[in-house]
Structure 1
Amino acid sequence: MNGAQALIRTLVDAGVDVCFANPGTSEMHFVAALDDVPQMRGVLTLFEGVATGAADGWARMTGRPAATLLHLGPGMGNGLANLHNARRGRTPMVNVVGDHGTSHKRLDAPLESDIDSLAGTVSGWVRRSLSPADLAADAADAVAAAARGQIATLVLPADVSWSEGAEVAAPVPARPRPRVAASVVGEVAGVVGAGEPTVLFVGGDVVASEAGLLAAARVAAGTGARLLAETFPPRMLRGAGLPDLGKLPYPPEVAIKALAGTRHLVLAGATSPVHFFAYPGVPPTPVPDDCTVHVLSAPGEDGVAALEELAAQVAGDAEPALLEASRPEVPGGRLTPRGVSAVVGAVLPERAIVVDEAITSGIGIAELTSGAPRHDWLALTGGAIGDGLPMAVGAAVACPDRPVLVLQADGSAMYTLQALWTMAREQLDVTVLLYDNASYAILQGELSRVGATGGGERAGQLLDLGGPALDFVALATGMGVPATRAETTDELAGQLRMALREPGPHLVQAVLRQGG
C-alpha cells in the first residue's frame, strides 16, 4: 500500500477517526486514500482556522485526538490562531501537513516554506516523515504524543504519501496520567487545614468531571477554603446538582479584588493566574504579594485523584453545597446583554454543549445558567478570537446526540464565519446565538484600561462594526443555515426554542444596541 493508505489506517487503529480538512495538491493521495479507509470521517472546512478549531472542539468532548489535514506552510499558518487556543487548552490534536515532494524542496517553489519551524510555535511534537517505510510508525508516535495533551504535527512530503512500500503500524500504548505524590497531598492538607485565608484554584481535568467538582467542593466545605475556577477552562461541567463554582474574572481590577486577602493559593489542574495583558500601574498577576502558591496537581497530572485524596484527609463527612435546579424568568422588553443571558438560562436544554465566545456581551450568563440542567461549557482558552463557530462544529461531530449552543459575538464571528457552511453541509445540530452589538466592545474597554488617551473619531472607526451593518441572517442563509433576527426577549426565547427543537443548524441574530 502507499504511504497515505498506511497513514490513515494507522490513525484509525490508534483511535483517530475524524479528520477536519482543507487540502491542496500535496495532500491529494491522502484525500484519495479516504475511500480505502471508510472508518476515517473526512470533514471539509473552507478555511484552515475552522479545521483546527473544529479539531479542538472534537477533542475537548471526546478526550481523544482529532486530526487536521492542512496544505503546506500557508495552510498551517491560516490555522495558527485556533492551534494557539488548542495549545493553551492542552488539547490533544494531530496535524498532518502536506509538503512538497522531497526532490522538489530544493527548487524553492512558490509555496515552499519552513513548515517545521512554523509547526514548532504551537506543537509539542514535530516530525517530518522521510520514507514510506517510516510513515506509519511516525503517525503512531504522533497520536501517542498528542494523547499527552499537546499538538503533534506530522509533516508529510507528497512523494512519501504516494510511494508504495508502507505498512500499518500498531498503536503506541497510552500512558496513564501521572499520579500526585502522597507527600504533596499531605503538604497541601496541612496548608488548607491551617485556617488561613485559602483559595482552591481549579481547572483542567478537575472541572471537566463530576468527581473532580464534588471532591473540590468537599475540600471547601470541610476547611472553609474558597473555591474558584480558572477564567477560561477548556471544558467545564455545570448545572443543577453540582457546586456553584465561580470563575476568576477577566478584568484585572476585578481579578485582583477577587483574590485580595488570600494567603494561600492551591492549584489543582490549573496554573497560577496572570493577566492577559500588561497595564500601566497594574501588577502582572492578581495573586497578592504576600500569598504563597502551592501546586496540588499540575495540568496533565491526575488532579481528580489528588483532590479525592485531599478530601479524604481534610473534609471528613462534610457535605458540599450543591445547586438546586432553577430557571430565570424571561424578562420583557428590548434585548440587553443580561436579558439575553436570562433567555439562555430559561431555554437551555438538557445535556447541552455550550460554546462560549460571547466576549463582553455575556453579562450574567454564568449566574443565570448555573441552575440549568447539566451541560458542558467550552471556553476561549488562548484568547485568540474566532474559535466559537469552529469549536461548535467539532463538538457537534463528536456528540451528534447532544444539542450544541454557541454564544457568539459578532466581531469574532467574522474570523471564521465559513464554519456555518460546514454546519449546513454536515447537518450538525448547532444553534448559533449571534450577539449583534455592531462593535468590538471588548477593545473599547481595553482602550481606556491601558490608558490610551484620545479615543476620537478615527480611533473609534477601528472599533466599530457599523457602516455597512453586518446582516448575519443573510450571511447565514447564504451558506445554507436557516436564520432569524430577534430584537426583544420574547422574540429571542421563541426563536431559540424553535431552533433548539428542530434538527440541523440554525442562527439567531440577537440585536443589541448601545443604551439598551
Structure 2
Amino acid sequence: MNGAQALISTLVDHGVRVCFANPGTSEMHFVAALDTVPQMRGVLTLFEGVATGAADGYARIANEPAAVLLHLGPGLGNGLANLHNARRAHVPAVVIVGDHATYHKKYDAPLESDIDSVAGTVSGWVRRTMAVADVAADAAAAIASARAHRHIATLILPADVSWDEGAFGVNEVVAQPAAVLHDAGQIESVLRSGEPTVIMVGGDATGADGLSAAVRLAQAYGAQVLCETFPTRLERGAGLPAVERLAYFAEAATAQLAGAKHLVLAGAPHPVSFFAYPGKPSDLVPDGCAVHTLAGPVGARAALTALADRIAPAEIAALAAMSRPSLPSGPLNVMTSADVIGALLPEHAIIVDESNTSGVLLAQATAGAPAHDWLTLTGGAIGYALPVSVGAAIAAPDRPVLCLESDGSAMYTISALWTQAREQLDVTTVVYANRAYDILRIELQRVGAEAAGERPGPKAESLLDLTSPTIDFVRISKGMGLPARRVGTAEEFADALRWAFDEPGPHLIEAVMPSITG
C-alpha cells in the first residue's frame, strides 16, 4: 500500500474514524485513499478554520481525537486560530499537514513555508515523516500522544511519502501520560484550617463527577467553589451541582475572590485578567491569598474525587433543582432572549456559546433547565462556535446542538453552515444580530482610549459598526442550504426555536437585538 493508504488505515485501526478536511494538491493521494478505507468518514469544510474548530468540538464531546487534513503551511495558518482554542481546551486532535515532495522543497515553490515552526505554536507533538515505511508508526505515535496528553499532535506528510508504495501496518503505540503532581495532604490542611478558601475547578473536573467532588469538599469545610471562566465542557442544569463561573471582567472576578486566604486550583489555570488595563493588576489573586495546585487540567477530576472520598465521604453534593423562566413577551433583548432559551431548552442539549455581550444573562436563565453541556471559547479566538457545533453534532448525532453565535464572530467561519447542511447535522444556530462589535465598544473605554460616558469618534465608530451594509444572515443561510428565520420579538423567537428543535436537520435563527452599548 502507499503512504496515504497506510495513514488512513492506521487512523481507523486506532479508533480515529472522522477526518475534517480542506485538502489541496499535496493531499490528493489521501483523498483518493478514502475510498479504500470505508470506515473513515471524511467531512469537507470550505475553510481550514472550520476543519480545526470541528475537530475541537468533536473531541470535547466524544473525548476522542478526530483527524484534520490541511494543505501546506497556508492551510495550517488558516486553521491556526481554532487550533489555538483547541490547545487551550486541552483536547486531543491529530492534525495531518501535507507538504511538498521532499525533492521539491529546495526549489522554494510559492507555497513553500516553515510548517514545522508554525505547527509547534499549537502542538504538543510534531513529527515530519520522511519515509513511507515510517508512516504507520508515526501515525500511531501521533494518536497515542494526542490521547495520553490531551493535546494536538501534528504529522507532516510530504507528497512523495504519501504516494510512495511500501508502507505496512504497525501495532498500537501507547504513550504514557505525564504524572499529575499534587499534594493532597497540603490541600487537606488548607480545608481543615477553616480559613476562607476558594476551590477553582477546570480542565477535566467540570463534568458531573468533578463538580460533585468539589462541592462535597466545599460543603464539608465551608469553602467556595468557582469554575474557570471558559471551561472546555461544563455539565450543568437540573440534577447537577450548580457552580458559578469566574467572571470575564477583572472587576467582577476580583469581587468573587475577595477575602480568600487560599485558592485551590483543581484543573483551572491561575486566574489573570484577560487583557492588561492601565493602572489595574493583571493577577486577580487577592493580596495575602496563597495559591495551591491540586492538579492540572488532566487528572483534576480524579484528584478531587479521591480527596472528597477520603475527607468528606458522607457528604452529598447539593444539586440544582428543575426551574425554568416563564416565556416572556415583547421586544427581543438580552433578558427576553435568555429567558426564551431557558424556557425551551431541550433535554440533553449541547450548547456551543459564542454569544458574547448578547448572552450575559444566559447562565442564570438556564441554570435550572434540563441537564446539558456548555462549551465555551477557551482560547478567546473568535469564530469558534459554528465550527465547534459541527464537530459536536457529528460526535453526538442523537443530541440537539444549540449554537449561540454573535454576528461579528459568525462571519469569521460562516461557511460552517454549508457543512452543517451537507452533513444534515441537528444544529440550531442562533445569530444575535446587534449590528455591532459591542464588546469592543466596552473595551474602548476600559483601556482608557475613550473618556467614560463619551461615544467613540466617527473613525473609531466605523470600526465597531456592522451596518452599511447590514448583514442578512437569513439570505446567507438559505444560500448555503439551511432554512432560516429572522425574529425581533420574544414570541417570534420562541416560535422559531420550537420550529428548529422539532424539525430534524440544521436551522438558523437571526435574532435582531439592540446593542447593549446604545
Q: TM-score, normalised by structure 2?
A: 0.97
| Residue identity matched to 2:155 | L
| Residue identity matched to 1:294 | H
| Cα separation, 2, equivalents of 1:155 and 1:363 | 41
| Cα separation, 2, equivalents of 1:434 and 1:240 | 26
1:312 aligns with 2:313: no
| Cα separation, 2, equivalents of 1:362 and 1:497 | 19
| Residue identity matched to 2:252 | V
**Equivalent residue of 1:205, what SS?**
helix
| Residue identity matched to 1:463 | L
Query: How far does the alpha carbon of each residue in 1:382-416 deviate from its partner, in whole angstroms, 9 at most, with x for none?
Result: 00000000000000011101000001011000000
In the TM superposition, residue 174 of structure 1 has moved relative to its aligned partner by: 5.3
Contact in 2 for aligned 1:19/1:66 (Cα 8 Å) = yes
In the TM superposition, residue 312 of structure 1 has moved relative to its aligned partner by: 2.8
Task: Single out whichever of 303-312 and 422-431 deviates more from structure 2.
Answer: 303-312
Query: How far does the alpha carbon of each residue in 1:257-288 deviate from its partner, in whole angstroms, 9 at most, with x for none?
Result: 11111110001111111111110011002111
Contact in 2 for aligned 1:179/1:305 (Cα 8 Å) = no
Paired residue for 1:467? 468
Task: Single out whichever of 166-175 and 148-157 deviates more from structure 2.
Answer: 166-175
| Residue identity matched to 1:408 | E
1:58 aligns with 2:55: no
| Cα separation, 1, equivalents of 2:398 and 2:351 | 14
| Cα separation, 2, equivalents of 1:336 and 1:74 | 40
1:351 aligns with 2:352: no
Contact in 2 for aligned 1:189/1:313 (Cα 8 Å) = no
Q: Which sections of structure 2, spanning at least 5 residues, go unmatched?
A: none
Cα 1:347–1:260 change in 2 (3 A) is same
| Cα separation, 1, equivalents of 2:54 and 2:313 | 43
Paired residue for 2:189? 190
State how 1:422-461 maps to structure 2 within 5 Å.
422-453=419-450, 455-461=456-462
Contact in 1 for aligned 2:348/2:400 (Cα 8 Å) = yes
**Equivalent residue of 1:307, what SS?**
helix
Q: TM-score, normalised by structure 1?
A: 0.97
| Residue identity matched to 2:176 | R
Contact in 2 for aligned 1:193/1:314 (Cα 8 Å) = no
Contact in 1 for aligned 2:19/2:66 (Cα 8 Å) = yes
Paired residue for 1:206? 205
Paired residue for 2:102? 102
Q: Which sections of structure 1, spanning at least 5 residues, go unmatched?
A: none
| Cα separation, 2, equivalents of 1:259 and 1:113 | 46
Contact in 1 for aligned 2:438/2:515 (Cα 8 Å) = no
Paired residue for 1:260? 258
Paired residue for 1:287? 285
Contact in 2 for aligned 1:45/1:422 (Cα 8 Å) = yes
Contact in 1 for aligned 2:2/2:167 (Cα 8 Å) = yes
1:383 aligns with 2:383: no
Query: How far does the alpha carbon of each residue in 1:225-272 deviate from its partner, in whole angstroms, 9 at most, with x for none?
Result: 001000000011111111111000001111111111111000111111
| Cα separation, 2, equivalents of 1:105 and 1:17 | 31
Cα 1:177–1:317 change in 2 (3 A) is farther
| Cα separation, 2, equivalents of 1:133 and 1:309 | 44
Paired residue for 2:491? 490
Aligned length, in residue pairs:
512
| Cα separation, 2, equivalents of 1:145 and 1:391 | 22
**Equivalent residue of 1:200, what SS?**
strand
Aligned pair partner of 1:230 in 228, 231, 234: 228
State how 1:8-407 maps to structure 2 within 5 Å.
8-147=8-147, 148-173=149-174, 175=176, 178=179, 184-207=183-206, 209-300=207-298, 302-407=299-404
Task: Single out whichever of 451-460 and 408-417 deviates more from structure 2.
Answer: 451-460
| Cα separation, 2, equivalents of 1:149 and 1:514 | 39
Contact in 2 for aligned 1:353/1:404 (Cα 8 Å) = yes
**Equivalent residue of 1:304, what SS?**
helix
In the TM superposition, residue 180 of structure 1 has moved relative to its aligned partner by: 5.3
Contact in 2 for aligned 1:13/1:170 (Cα 8 Å) = no
Contact in 2 for aligned 1:3/1:161 (Cα 8 Å) = yes
Contact in 2 for aligned 1:48/1:79 (Cα 8 Å) = yes
| Residue identity matched to 2:5 | Q
| Cα separation, 1, equivalents of 2:388 and 2:492 | 27
| Cα separation, 1, equivalents of 2:389 and 2:397 | 11
Cα 1:251–1:179 change in 2 (3 A) is closer
| Cα separation, 2, equivalents of 1:352 and 1:177 | 33
Contact in 2 for aligned 1:396/1:430 (Cα 8 Å) = yes
In the TM superposition, residue 339 of structure 1 has moved relative to its aligned partner by: 1.0
Q: Please report the RMSD computed on the Cα atoms of aligned residues, expressed in angstroms.
A: 1.2
| Cα separation, 1, equivalents of 2:177 and 2:87 | 20
In the TM superposition, residue 317 of structure 1 has moved relative to its aligned partner by: 2.3
Contact in 1 for aligned 2:198/2:262 (Cα 8 Å) = yes
- Percent identical: 61
Query: How far does the alpha carbon of each residue in 1:428-453 deviate from its partner, in whole angstroms, 9 at most, with x for none?
Result: 00000110100011111110000003
**Equivalent residue of 1:325, what SS?**
coil
| Residue identity matched to 2:174 | P
| Cα separation, 2, equivalents of 1:92 and 1:333 | 44
In the TM superposition, residue 314 of structure 1 has moved relative to its aligned partner by: 3.2
| Cα separation, 2, equivalents of 1:87 and 1:114 | 20
In the TM superposition, residue 68 of structure 1 has moved relative to its aligned partner by: 0.5
Task: Single out whichever of 163-172 and 16-25 deviates more from structure 2.
Answer: 163-172
| Cα separation, 1, equivalents of 2:382 and 2:271 | 20
| Cα separation, 1, equivalents of 2:232 and 2:323 | 25
| Cα separation, 1, equivalents of 2:274 and 2:28 | 41
In the TM superposition, residue 34 of structure 1 has moved relative to its aligned partner by: 0.2
**Equivalent residue of 2:199, what SS?**
strand
| Cα separation, 2, equivalents of 1:142 and 1:228 | 34
In the TM superposition, residue 315 of structure 1 has moved relative to its aligned partner by: 2.4
| Cα separation, 1, equivalents of 2:172 and 2:325 | 49
Contact in 2 for aligned 1:6/1:167 (Cα 8 Å) = yes
Contact in 2 for aligned 1:99/1:156 (Cα 8 Å) = yes
In the TM superposition, residue 175 of structure 1 has moved relative to its aligned partner by: 3.4
**Equivalent residue of 1:294, what SS?**
strand
| Cα separation, 2, equivalents of 1:298 and 1:239 | 25
| Cα separation, 2, equivalents of 1:144 and 1:105 | 29
